[in-house]
Amino acid sequence: MFLLVIFKKVFSMRNLKVLFHLYLNYIKILINDFSKLTLLKIQ
């Protein structure tokens, strides 16, 4: 139970939004790298 309280404090809504945006940016970068690799392979 104690860990759960800390977890809730650390991951407030604002932190979750920030983490979510970071995650989305990371995915975009991965997709860009992947598309570049596939383009290189096609050529």
DSSP result, 17-37: HHHHHHHHHHHHHHHHHHHHH
Q: What is the pLDDT of residue 9?
A: 77
Looking up tokens 């290189």 gives 40
Nearest CA-CA partner of 14 in 22, 25, 5: 22
The residue ranges of every structural domain in the chain are 2-42
Q: How far apart are CA 13 and CA 3, in angstroms?
A: 18
Question: pLDDT tens, 1-43?
Answer: 688 887 777 777 788 888 889 999 999 999 999 999 888 888 7
Q: How far apart are CA 3 and CA 8, in angstroms?
A: 9
